[in-house]
């Protein structure tokens, strides 16, 4: 016979199981069938730079707060650049010298980091270049890298997730007229469409929810996806072939982008530029900070839905569910006109890639453990973790020891992921990258050359780009120095 105590215990257990069941079943998000794609997709405006007396292209960027209609009929307190939410698209060419005038009208200090840009460390917008409220920061550098889709976002110490989540982010498109061999759709906003993916959690009044999910191993996951800040968007397509420039500008979510009808499309570019050859794929998975350029063909009059299918995170069942691994999210409906302007298929060869000579490359190892450290150490603004000699080529080996998702981003350089066991890397890792997903238990090896900009005083960052992890300390610092030089003491940063 059951005693009262046993009965109470059994009731508690049943209760706990019920709660666990509810938490479990409420953890995934599926928005299929819940969209009518009523809003026209917003296209971030292109910001035309001025040219100053020195011939530099000057971009004026005002960081400010405001209110935005993220959900129809509501007003959300947001932050943005030259507007209340997100920022304009910047565009420059290889060979241009740019001058950025970043004015901070926000209520707290922040930075603006040019993600994917090869540039001097003092211009990088890392935590070492804070811009106080009311101050203006003016870095300048010469653009010298292949055509690519880069982006910009704040990178303040401990506060990056918050500032990006409020809306400070934008695209930066680089062109390379000298190396132009690929005929691809390139009319911005017409057949060359930027798609900035961000998930939010908004209450009924449209307020941003800053709460962390108690169980999520990667932090905040939203149930509302905005594309270029647009909820429930559609895009009118008048061209047979459309180029989509995808950016994952979320704080934590991994997207696995494809079409609802599973049609294939042509992957033409990844983080740091065009692939050598186009790849036919049905999915492109993007962890936080990654970009992809694809070309999709549409038929006259059809409507097709761009969707994030459940991503392959490589975690156990529990972590998979609470890291968004079971989520299906509608992104955008493409509505093709009855008559379409024809355009050529992407050419068989898109770009020439420089080969890296790995004969003398040294290997550095980075171990990601837990959710707040690399090689057992948390980010310390005063500590240089690695010293790299200018002109060297290195292999970096990143191992995820934790059971949860991580990725890895390196400032300044772009890298080539190395295939394992003599095999070529998968299609999405065959081009130049600056951010790469590292599944639990997995080791990713990549090679990079460290050219230009030796500076023993100012470090570049490497970090997990899941922003909650970065803010907790999953980040380290390296300096590039003249061969034989030592880094200088960093204790005097602002
Ligand atoms: Cu991480």
Question: Which domain, by its residues, includes 200?
Answer: 192-341
In a domain, 34, yes or no: no
pLDDT beyond 60 at 134: yes
Contact by Cβ (8 Å): 312, 255: no
User: Do residue 118 and residue 151 come from a single domain?
Assistant: yes
User: Do residue 198 and residue 168 come from a single domain?
Assistant: no
Contacts of 320 (CB under 8 A, 6+ apart): 313, 326
Q: Ligand 1 center to residue 465 CA distance, Å? A: 6
Q: Ligand 1 center to residue 407 CA distance, Å? A: 6
User: Do residue 204 and residue 329 come from a single domain?
Assistant: yes
d(CA 279, CA 150): 21
User: Do residue 286 and residue 395 come from a single domain?
Assistant: no
Query: Taking the chain, what is the end-to-end CA distance rounded to the nearest angstrom?
Result: 71
Q: What is the rounded average pLDDT for all residues in the chain?
A: 93
Q: Ligand 1 center to residue 8 CA distance, Å? A: 41
User: Do residue 96 and residue 47 come from a single domain?
Assistant: yes
User: Do residue 247 and residue 169 come from a single domain?
Assistant: no
Q: What is the pLDDT of residues 202-256, one digit of tens each?
A: 998 899 988 776 678 888 899 999 999 999 999 999 999 999 999 999 999 999 9
User: Do residue 197 and residue 170 come from a single domain?
Assistant: no
Contacts of 139 (CB under 8 A, 6+ apart): 99, 100, 102, 119, 122, 123, 124, 125, 129
Of 79-93, 188-202, 317-331, where does mean pLDDT reach its minimum?
A: 317-331
d(CA 487, CA 90): 33
Q: What is the pLDDT of residues 28-51, one digit of tens each?
A: 899 999 999 999 999 999 999 999
Structural domain total, the chain? 3
Mean per-residue pLDDT, 466-477: 96
Q: Ligand 1 center to residue 270 CA distance, Å? A: 21
User: Do residue 206 and residue 325 come from a single domain?
Assistant: yes
Position 420 scores a pLDDT of: 83
Give the rounded percent of residues in the chain with a pLDDT score beyond 90. 84
Beta-strand (E) ranges in 392-450?
Answer: 393-400, 406-410, 415-417, 432-433, 435-438, 443-449
Q: What is the pLDDT of residues 275-285, one digit of tens each?
A: 999 999 999 99
pLDDT beyond 90 at 4: no
pLDDT beyond 50 at 494: no
Reference 271, options 117, 454, 100, 421; nearest CA is: 117
Which helix (H) or strand (E) segment holds residue 322: the answer is helix 317-322
Q: What is the pLDDT of residues 76-85, one digit of tens each?
A: 999 999 999 9
Q: Which residues surround ligand 1, an ion (CB under 5 A)?
A: 406, 464, 466, 469
Q: Ligand 1 center to residue 464 CA distance, Å? A: 5
CATH number of the domain residue 304 falls in: 2.60.40.420
pTM for this model (two decimals): 0.94
User: Do residue 266 and residue 378 come from a single domain?
Assistant: no
User: Do residue 80 and residue 164 come from a single domain?
Assistant: yes
User: Do residue 268 and residue 307 come from a single domain?
Assistant: yes
In a domain, 6, yes or no: no
Length of the chain: 494
């Amino acid at each position: 016979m059951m005693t009262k105590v046993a009965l109470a215990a059994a009731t508690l257990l049943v209760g706990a199981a019920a709660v666990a069941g509810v938490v479990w079943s409420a953890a995934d998000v599926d928005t299929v069938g819940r969209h009518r794609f009523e809003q026209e997709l917003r296209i971030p405006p292109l910001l035309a730079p001025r040219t100053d007396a020195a011939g530099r292209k000057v971009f004026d960027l005002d960081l400010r707060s405001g209110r935005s209609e993220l959900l129809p009929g509501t007003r959300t307190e947001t932050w943005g650049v030259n507007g209340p939410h997100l920022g304009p698209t910047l565009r420059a060419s290889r060979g241009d010298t740019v001058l950025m005038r970043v004015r901070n009208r926000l209520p707290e200090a922040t930075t603006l980091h040019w993600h994917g840009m090869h540039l001097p460390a003092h211009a990088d917008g890392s935590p070492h270049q804070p811009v106080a409220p009311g101050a203006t920061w003016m870095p300048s550098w010469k653009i010298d890298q292949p055509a690519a889709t880069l982006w910009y976002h704040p990178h303040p110490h401990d506060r990056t997730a918050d500032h990006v989540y409020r809306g400070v982010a934008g695209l930066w498109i680089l062109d390379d007229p000298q190396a132009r061999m690929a005929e691809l759709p390139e009319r911005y906003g017409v057949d060359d469409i930027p798609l900035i993916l961000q998930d939010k959690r908004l209450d009924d009044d449209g307020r941003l929810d800053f709460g962390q999910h108690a169980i999520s191993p990667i932090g905040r996951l939203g149930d509302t996806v905005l594309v270029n800040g647009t909820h429930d968007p559609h895009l009118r397509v008048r061209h047979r072939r459309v180029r989509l420039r995808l950016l994952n500008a979320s704080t934590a979510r991994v997207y696995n982008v494809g079409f609802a009808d599973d049609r294939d499309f042509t992957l033409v570019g990844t983080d740091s530029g065009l692939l050598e050859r186009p790849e036919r794929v049905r999915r492109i998975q993007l962890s936080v900070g990654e970009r992809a350029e694809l070309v999709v063909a549409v038929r006259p009059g059809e409507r097709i839905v761009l969707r994030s299918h459940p991503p392959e995170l490589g975690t156990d069942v529990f972590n998979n569910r609470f890291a968004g691994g079971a989520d299906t999210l509608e992104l955008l409906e493409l509505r093709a006109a009855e008559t379409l302007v024809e355009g050529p298929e992407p050419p068989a060869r898109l770009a020439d890639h420089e080969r890296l000579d790995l004969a003398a490359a040294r290997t550095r190892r980075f171990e990601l453990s837990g959710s707040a450290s690399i090689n057992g150490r948390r980010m310390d603004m005063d500590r240089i973790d690695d010293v790299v000699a200018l002109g060297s080529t290195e292999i970096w080996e990143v191992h995820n020891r934790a059971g949860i998702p991580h990725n890895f981003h390196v400032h300044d350089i772009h890298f080539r992921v190395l295939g394992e066991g003599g095999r070529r890397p998968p299609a999405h890792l065959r081009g130049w990258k600056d951010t790469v997903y590292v599944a639990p238990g997995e080791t990713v090896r990549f090679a990079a050359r460290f050219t230009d900009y030796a500076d023993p005083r100012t470090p570049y960052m490497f970090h997990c780009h899941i922003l909650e992890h970065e803010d907790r300390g999953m980040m380290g610092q390296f300096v590039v120095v003249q061969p034989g030089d030592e880094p200088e003491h960093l204790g005097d940063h602002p």
